[in-house]
Amino acid sequence: MNRLSKWLDERIDLVGIRRTLLDRRMPRDLTWWHTLGSATLAVFLVQAATGTILAMYYAPSPDHAYDSIRYLEHSVASGALLRGIHHWGASAMVILVVAHAIRVFSMGAYKYPRELNWLLGVALLGIVLGFGFTGYLLPWDQKAYWATQVGTNIAGTTPVVGAVIVKLLRGGAQLGVATLTRFYALHVLLLPALLAGIALLHLTLVVRNGIAPRTGVLELNAPARTDSPEYHRYYAESYAASKKAGVRFWPDIVVLDAVIATSLVLLLFLVGHFVGAGLELPADPSDSSYVPRPEWYFLPFFQLLKLVPGSMESVAAVGVPGVLVLVLLLLPFFDRRSARAFNRRPVARISLFGLLGGIVLLLGASIREPKPTAIAPEVGRVLNSPERAGRALFERQQCGGCHIVAGKGGADRKGDAKDSPELTEVGLRHSAAYIHSFIEDPSRFHTGSKMPAFGPPVLSHQEIEELSRYLSSLRGKNWQTAKEEFVDTFPEPRKPKEKP
């Protein structure tokens, strides 16, 4: 062991690395708030690990993406857990990056000499949101498809270059094969490379510039502005003093970081296991009645666009995020007052609370809105459009007069019709094709059937198809795990001459 570390030390200066990384001195009294940056890094590592495994199962094409996710969820050991962790990890990343930015902002830690690191941080925030946006499409379910449709439309309202941006994002005029492969490539190649590179720079600067001490330390007798030469001298002296009186990164600070990182990873496991990631029906580009819902961290923005009048929408769609990014990027350059304590920076305080308050209000309003894609109770999930049409027909034709579905119906079951079978789990017994033929003409299947025939002219083939799609979605309470066991025996085609 000793010989190995000596061998390595001669080649890569292990001792030097240890001195710069672990033995570096940090100001005293760092708070739990200071662990947010390393917590983000920890969750990113979890995302990289789970994402790599997910990528091994994922097929980035509209024909196979959904099935590959379904396969992962149902047939791969811990597949659902992995996906759950990755799904919630994405939300955790957004929360942590934003919380970290708020911490840095409210402690004035973006001021001299950390301006550059603030800029890298803003870039990292953008990249994390980019991960969320591109990753959302990958399962290729209804939610994914329609949210991306709206997202790319919003990008398209950018003046002048809007059309080009949409085409670049979608890889064509419509959402399709090219969009999915593009988003996949961005999600697993470009964004991870960018994030890793910029995060490395960000960390290098953290090691180089150190952590800003508690605000009070840098404010005693400080010159008023950070761009005056006296300030730089003043800063160097008081920072050196605070470091000298400080603690070592290893082990004093690492312990805090490790506690938070471990608890977060545990929490992700729990949420990933118990809540999971969810999967709606496969994307159906023809189902324009589906009401899109983006991921929660885009909801405030989405809600804002709903509030502004139509003519102003494109201004808000590009203007609001544009101005926000610009302000964030310029912040360390126009705010050069040396005050760092949050309670001595009234403008900063009002802006932060105003922004956060607005975001929370918008998020609240958006969550309170009634969920438009209501789950059909008898099916346990959202119906797609043919299924919805079939359900409406089922009511209109009073099929429920004879048949019971999930405890409802069956009121007219008198006399001959009293043994009409319950249809709550009919989708497990029969294929849609069988149900279709049956509804058309029950007497073909069962001479003297008590069920009236609904074939044309009563209902069109299209309508019967919708009915049978709806019925084959009826799979009882355990629809998620129940397996179909079809007992479909089709009758011989009717011969012109009936046998006696």
Binding site for ligand HEC (CB under 6 A): 394, 397-399, 401-403, 417, 419-421, 426, 429, 435, 438-439, 442, 446, 449-451, 454, 467, 471
Pairing of strands 247-248, 404-405: unpaired
Q: Which is nearer to ligand HEC, 234 or 434 (CB)?
A: 434
314 or 397, CB closer to ligand HEC? 397
Q: Which is nearer to ligand HEC, 65 or 435 (CB)?
A: 435
Give the nearest distance from C-beta 437 to ligand HEC in angstroms.
Answer: 10
Nearer to ligand HEC, 98 or 471 (CB): 471
Give the residue with the Cβ less far from ligand HEC, 7 or 486.
486
Structure tokens at 11: 């080649």
- Give the pair of three-digit tokens for residue 493: 């085609």
Cα–Cα nearest to 167, from 283, 159, 175: 175
Name the residue nearer to ligand HEC (CB basis): 211 or 451.
451
Give residue number: closest CB to ligand HEC: 399
Beta carbon of residue 374, minimum distance to ligand HEC (angstroms, whole number): 22
* Token pair in block for residue 150: 């709206």
Identity of the residue, 147 or 402, whose beta carbon is nearer to ligand HEC in the bound complex? 402
Which residue, 238 or 449, has its beta carbon nearer to ligand HEC?
449
For residues 429 and 475, which CB has a smaller minimum distance to ligand HEC in the complex? Answer: 429
| Helix 177-185 × helix 162-170 angle, to 10° | 90
Q: Minimum distance from CB of 60 to ligand HEC (Å)? A: 38
Q: How far apart are CA 397 and CA 359, in angstroms?
A: 48
Q: How many CB atoms lie within 10 A of CB 108?
A: 25
**Residue closer to ligand HEC (CB basis): 202 or 403:** 403
Question: Which residues have CB under 8 Å from 372's CB, separation 6+?
Answer: 291
* Residue 429 beta carbon to ligand HEC: minimum distance, rounded to whole angstroms: 5
Cα–Cα nearest to 464, from 484, 488, 436, 486 = 436
